[in-house]
Structure 1
Amino acid sequence: MSIPFFRVEVGGDEREKIDEVFDGEAPDIISDLETAFESYIGAAHALATSHGTAALHLAMLAIDLKRGDKVLCSINAYPSVPEVVRHFDAEPIFIDIDATTFNIDLEKLEAYLAENKSKKLKAVIVSHIAGQSVDLERLYGIARLYDVKIIEDASDALGATYKGQKIGSTGADITCFDFSPHLRRNVCNGGMMVSDDEEIIERARLLRNHAMVVDDEALGYIYDVTDIGSQYMMSPLDAATILVQLDKQDDTVERQQAIAERFNERLEGAPHIKLPIAEQDHAYSLYIIKVDKNRDSFARELAANGIECGLHYIPLHLLSYYKSKYSLRVNDFPVALRNYQQVLSIPNYAALSDDEVEEICDAILDVASTRV
């Protein structure tokens, strides 16, 4: 039996909520989702968007990113992170990663900020790989010291926590979520931008729909445009699905953690692989192992056994656009390069049955035992 890298379970509750939208019984479903998300995360404001990249782009608009500004980010991030920076003709500055967590290396981040003081340094985008954050207290301290904004890319961290507190409520200027992230495609699209800063969220709210301002005292079709925005409104059908799934998210995280614990038990000491290490709270939205050599061969053998795997991520300096644009060399980010050659994400999601978890373990142990 083949086990996909990710599988979505959609039940009667989602279908019932979607029917309410079709029947006109949920006219405020998007604002209902935003309110529920504020409560779930513990943030003052939440703004729903069409997808996660839209949330990141709105974040750049909200902090008034301009041409020539600089935004620091991890070299191990999905292309959407530097992409939204480049759309402003601003410059992403890449920082190498921590070899254990695959997150941005705070030592290297602080060293860069100490050596490159500039008014053009606008923000740091921090991606929480696999649902584990960096030391956020230290990160926020660095941000205050060097006067840069912190935007957290929580695409892999919905429901994840830092010292028991939900990601999105710990002190970032903006946190962005993606309900259909890379290789874990949902049946719907959607993103969410959260912030405790009312000015930031109101600017984003305006720009989310072409910066249109409607005259409520007129007939409803009189509008003005006050800035350059875009169309990043979430679909009501997506909002309905996500609203139901949000209610199950803590159970989803709990199941991911339980599966990860079983992986840890079964795979401990297996030859040629290293298991993930939790330095902070870990939601295990991804379970990333390291294969000591020939990672792609290992993945092909797992695929032959019916186990589909993923990769998180190809370091940005190996991608043609960024390599060429910034004259980056392969060895410029040695930790990320070394990790890239070894990391492999194996299936870990709530829809996996116990039997499937055991089948994944059996396949990994079988492939590992035959390697030289």
Structure 2
Amino acid sequence: MIKLSQPQIPEVAIERVGEILRSGQLVHGDECNAFENELAAYLGAKHALVVSNGTAALHLALLALDIGPGDAVIVPDFTFTATANIVEITGAKALIVDVERSSYNIDPIKLIDCIENWTGPEKLKAIMPVLEFGNPSNLNTYREIAKKYNLSMIEDAACALGASDEGTMVGTAGDFGCFSFHPRKTLTTGEGGALVTNNTELFQKATLLRSHGMERSSEGVVFKCIGLNYRLTNFQAAIGRAILPHLNNWIAKRQELAAHYKAKLSSLIESKLITIPEVVSGHSVQTFMIVLASDFKRSDVIFELKNKGVEANLGAQSMSALGLFLHQKNITTSYPVGQELYQQGLALPLHEGMKVEDVNIVVNSLDSILKKL
């Protein structure tokens, strides 16, 4: 079976995890501190805070920005549901905006329209663009929009560690950048995530919130505020530290595989049986998702691919189609692109452990299935 995704864990990481497990220092410790410093240096950011998962990173960002009841945050229609879920968990309202067909990222024109025409009772406080599947498109544009309208910006960069937009590293453009280290991500620690910011005051606030509001001093532990437990373990951080030096090379391999996919899929594209994403410069290509023509039932294609030894799946969800965020603006707006991507998007195998020959097998299998169906 050619797997949709396959975590790559260097042997040195496995050895280091064993050492940490034997040491007994399992919770946040020196490995976490070192990982934070190395991650910040890699991104060119002032501060990085490792946390238990990517959703926790988003939650801390919202809380540090004092976003809650009476506020509204703009999110894209096409994303994993955690993006909108976590806004609602704080008591704020998730306002959905449709995405671009080419990038799968939030449409800047529709974003501006939403901001300028917002008349709800909630105060519009922030935008939360998702750099879908590692696509950095529009990152600097989102920053300019947030600045123009005096809004905070939280980058949901769960899939996009290592991506960049014209020299700006994803995660460093907004007030906060939030990453996930889930096994589907290029850098994985099993579960885990990180929060990145260039604002020292926000960093200090998020640090307190991450660990029960505790601050250690020479006089002992002082509880400075009400907080949560979103810490990463020391052994997870060791895995992240071992992978980080490989990240750029792995992203380059993913870009090469994506380019090969594009070339091999050309006949299916010309026949209008599928469309493919635009893989721009700086794309980290966490997932390669094509879009099937409306004639095809995705579940049938997934089933047939599995029979040929190829794993495939949907890409992400449409927030408007889930029936969970039924605010007036959301239910009176149409989301044609996000809903199409949700219904017809097909994620194909892509990871740095693959070979060009694997891509050939995937494409040949897909070609025969689509022509048969």
- The TM-score with structure 2 as length reference comes to 0.91
Counterpart residue identity of residue 243, structure 1: R
Matched, 1:167 2:167: no
1:71 counterpart SS class: strand
Matched positions, count: 364
Structure 2 partner of 1:149? 152
Give the CA deviation at 1:25: 10
Report the CA distance shift for 1:167/1:184 in structure 2 as closer, same or farther (over 3 A).
closer
Q: Could you give the per-residue CA deviations for residues 92-122 of structure 1, whole angstroms, max 9, x where no partner exists? A: 1000111111111110110111122788111
Which range moved further: 20-29 or 252-261? 20-29
Counterpart residue identity of residue 79, structure 1: T
Give the CA deviation at 1:231: 0.1
Please give the alpha-carbon distance, in whole angstroms, between the structure 2 residues aligned to 1:207 and 1:183.
25
Please give the alpha-carbon distance, in whole angstroms, between the structure 1 residues aligned to 2:154 and 2:38.
21
Equivalent positions of 1:260-299 (< 5 A) are: 260-270=258-268, 271=271, 272-279=273-280, 281-292=282-293, 293-294=295-296, 295-299=298-302
Structure 2 partner of 1:211? 213
Give the CA deviation at 1:304: 1.7
Please give the alpha-carbon distance, in whole angstroms, between the structure 2 residues aligned to 1:17 and 1:74.
39
Give the CA deviation at 1:162: 0.9
Structure 1 partner of 2:96? 94
Matched, 1:124 2:127: yes
Give the CA deviation at 1:226: 2.3
Q: Could you give the per-residue CA deviations for residues 61-89 of structure 1, whole angstroms, max 9, x where no partner exists? A: 11011211100010112111111111121
Please give the alpha-carbon distance, in whole angstroms, between the structure 2 residues aligned to 1:305 and 1:329.
40
Please give the alpha-carbon distance, in whole angstroms, between the structure 2 residues aligned to 1:158 and 1:213.
29
Give the CA deviation at 1:22: 2.8
1:332 counterpart SS class: coil
* Paired residues of 1:74 and 1:95 also in contact (CA < 8 A): yes
Report the CA distance shift for 1:164/1:184 in structure 2 as closer, same or farther (over 3 A).
closer
* Paired residues of 1:65 and 1:122 also in contact (CA < 8 A): yes
Q: Could you give the per-residue CA deviations for residues 22-41 of structure 1, whole angstroms, max 9, x where no partner exists? A: 34498510000000001111
- The TM-score with structure 1 as length reference comes to 0.91
Unaligned runs of 5+ in 2: none
Structure 1 partner of 2:346? 344
Equivalent positions of 1:293-308 (< 5 A) are: 293-294=295-296, 295-308=298-311
Please give the alpha-carbon distance, in whole angstroms, between the structure 2 residues aligned to 1:101 and 1:109.
15
Please give the alpha-carbon distance, in whole angstroms, between the structure 1 residues aligned to 2:123 and 2:351.
41
Q: Could you give the per-residue CA deviations for residues 261-294 of structure 1, whole angstroms, max 9, x where no partner exists? A: 1111111122411222235532211111111022
Which range moved further: 11-20 or 308-317? 11-20
Please give the alpha-carbon distance, in whole angstroms, between the structure 2 residues aligned to 1:259 and 1:87.
38
Please give the alpha-carbon distance, in whole angstroms, between the structure 1 residues aligned to 2:19 and 2:9.
16
Please give the alpha-carbon distance, in whole angstroms, between the structure 2 residues aligned to 1:173 and 1:183.
23
Report the CA distance shift for 1:119/1:333 in structure 2 as closer, same or farther (over 3 A).
closer
Please give the alpha-carbon distance, in whole angstroms, between the structure 2 residues aligned to 1:281 and 1:183.
16
Equivalent positions of 1:189-338 (< 5 A) are: 189-214=191-216, 216-218=217-219, 222-270=220-268, 271=271, 272-279=273-280, 281-292=282-293, 293-294=295-296, 295-323=298-326, 329=331, 332-338=334-340
1:82 counterpart SS class: helix
2:16 counterpart SS class: helix
Please give the alpha-carbon distance, in whole angstroms, between the structure 2 residues aligned to 1:229 and 1:5.
37
1:230 counterpart SS class: coil
Report the CA distance shift for 1:66/1:322 in structure 2 as closer, same or farther (over 3 A).
closer
Please give the alpha-carbon distance, in whole angstroms, between the structure 1 residues aligned to 2:285 and 2:314.
14
1:39 counterpart SS class: helix
Please give the alpha-carbon distance, in whole angstroms, between the structure 1 residues aligned to 2:81 and 2:183.
12
Equivalent positions of 1:69-80 (< 5 A) are: 69-80=71-82
* Paired residues of 1:330 and 1:337 also in contact (CA < 8 A): no
Give the CA deviation at 1:19: 2.9
Percent identical across equivalent pairs? Answer: 26
Counterpart residue identity of residue 8, structure 2: E
Unaligned runs of 5+ in 1: none
Counterpart residue identity of residue 170, structure 2: I
Which range moved further: 250-259 or 25-34? 25-34
Which range moved further: 338-347 or 36-45? 338-347
Which range moved further: 180-189 or 272-281? 180-189
Which range moved further: 223-232 or 329-338? 329-338
2:317 counterpart SS class: coil
Q: Could you give the per-residue CA deviations for residues 210-250 of structure 1, whole angstroms, max 9, x where no partner exists? A: 10123x223xxx43322221000101111011111111111
Give the CA deviation at 1:370: 2.1
Matched, 1:109 2:107: no
Report the CA distance shift for 1:320/1:329 in structure 2 as closer, same or farther (over 3 A).
same
Counterpart residue identity of residue 16, structure 1: E
Report the CA distance shift for 1:326/1:244 in structure 2 as closer, same or farther (over 3 A).
farther
Counterpart residue identity of residue 33, structure 1: F
Please give the alpha-carbon distance, in whole angstroms, between the structure 1 residues aligned to 2:11 and 2:140.
41
